[in-house]
Structure 1
Amino acid sequence: MILDSFLWRAGLAGIGVALAAAPLGCFVVWRRMAYFGDATAHAAILGVALALSFNVPVFLGALIIALAMASLVASLSGRDVAVDTLLGVLAHSALAIGIVAVSLLDSVRIDLMAFLFGDILAVSRMDLAIIWGGALAVVGLLGWRWSALLTATLNEDLARASGLDPRREKLILTLTLAVVVAVSIKVVGVLLIGAMLIVPPAAARVFARTPEQMVLIAGLIGAASVLGGLAASWQFDTPTGPTIVSVAAFVFLLCTVFGLARRVVARE
């Protein structure tokens, strides 16, 4: 069977993450929430430590802590502390506390690098089910709230005039981000999740003329980066998660150069 091959499982897992990260990553780019994604991802390592301590699935622990971080930041944003300062404090504090907590687990042997940078080649059938279940849930939720989320992102005053609550839509985005972080931790790790959220949509902006086109192109770039990264990692014996992100960064560079060249030609 196809799923008996670890390479097939890795490819399917990566594509699932790319499809979930594409629409959410577009909103992250549009709302300039890149640092927020990093903070939520870094907090997930604390969830890993708690999951191992209480002998529960790692996905569940990462999801709970990521949801808690997302809710906390969403509730505190716009108050006495500047958002970027708040995210910086929470992101680095959660990552440091999580790493310390993992190191104190004497009864559990854990490959910390796998959670920091991903271990996509070790994805099991259960991991694959969790990743695709989470990805489909994210895509379904964003598809259901697409119009409201887009309106609240483009113009909050227009959203209020249309009877929408911008804070509620932002909360939906933050909670969805927590789900993506939880399902992605096995594939690219907490330190690289932010890149998968940001790089493909940033590359897609060069070619997209509508928000829907940007989501579609970002999904294709993300999936291509996963497959290209897997192939390069297999060929050159490099770490798979970082290689996937490196391929995505290379695609972004090509798209940026193409966009600049197109603008220069258009001016002549």
Structure 2
Amino acid sequence: MLDDFLIRATLAGVGVGLGAALLGCFVVWRRMAYFGDATAHAAILGVALSLGFSLPIPGGVLVVALVMALTITALSRRGQAMDTVLGVLAHAALAFGLMAVAFLPGARLNLESYLFGDILSVSKSDLALVWGGTVLLALWLAWRWQALLTATLNPDLAAASGIDPEREQLGLTLALALVVALSIKVVGALLITALLIIPAAAARPFARTPEAMLGLAAVVAVASALGGLRLAWVLDTPAGPSIVTCAVILFALGQIVARLRRG
């Protein structure tokens, strides 16, 4: 059954959507959108290094994303102006990555797939990587849920309860790097942050509890993946941008419904 590329693409989209939704709620709660953007842009540099040294691309992307995430975390602890630092690091990583890819023989032909994803070329090994990482992320969130939630909503209360907010932040940083590495083949480096933020933002007006928001975000993400693939098939458009477009449409519809309910 997995020999059909459309089935592999669908499973990959659902897997990445679930992983992004699980982490996206914390990205929205902690206002880490720019943080995620910088980490995602670093993925292109990871692709270039992987191709240059003949290493597995997900591994190279994960290492560079981790380095970027840890660098940002270290700078934030020193009281740097984070909006400026994130802007500089994000664009620097993207520029260096694009320049490095340009020097690699034959890499230019594949550059668009790394920027916007190429979900239709997902292999069985890619699928195993995506779902393995998503299951690992779900288990980690189930284990650290209460501590992460407390550290996110009230760091002082977390510290008083014996929870180390910085340790939870570090765990979230590592998880974000993992999601970036898993997502680059599906939606690409430029669209990963959108998949992290939009489903969570769409779910927020309708959720009364953090758990409900997580569940609704997962539903929106899966619906976006399925709808985006259908849209790409019907209109012959790139799959990655089509998935994000569906997520934006669901977000817009959700905002309209939320306003009507308030009115």
TM-fit CA distance, 1:81:
2.1
Q: Which moved more, 1:14-23 or 1:149-158?
A: 14-23
1:62 alignment partner in structure 2: 61
What is the 5 A alignment of 1:79-228?
79-106=78-105, 108=107, 110-228=109-227
Identify unmatched segments of 5+ residues in structure 1.
none
Distance in 1, matches of 2:116 and 2:145, equals 31
Q: Which moved more, 1:131-140 or 1:24-33?
A: 131-140
Provide, for residues 111-142 of structure 1, a one-character-per-residue CA deviation record: whole Å limited to 9, x for no partner.
10000000000000010011111111111111
- Partner amino acid, structure 2, of 1:237: D
Provide, for residues 201-252 of structure 1, a one-character-per-residue CA deviation record: whole Å limited to 9, x for no partner.
0000121110001011100110010000000100010111001000000000
Q: TM-score, normalised by structure 1?
A: 0.96
- Partner amino acid, structure 2, of 1:149: L
1:8 alignment partner in structure 2: 7
1:239 alignment partner in structure 2: 238
Identify unmatched segments of 5+ residues in structure 2.
none
TM-fit CA distance, 1:7:
0.6
Q: How many residues align?
A: 263
Asked if 1 retains the 8 angstrom alpha-carbon contact of 2:34 and 2:86, the reply is yes
Distance in 1, matches of 2:188 and 2:182, equals 10
Distance in 2, matches of 1:250 and 1:140, equals 30
TM-fit CA distance, 1:100:
0.2
Distance in 2, matches of 1:81 and 1:157, equals 21
Distance in 1, matches of 2:68 and 2:84, equals 15
TM-fit CA distance, 1:80:
4.4
Percent identity, please: 61
- The 1:251–1:107 alpha-carbon spacing in structure 2 relative to 1, beyond 3 Å, is closer
Distance in 1, matches of 2:225 and 2:107, equals 31
2:22 alignment partner in structure 1: 23
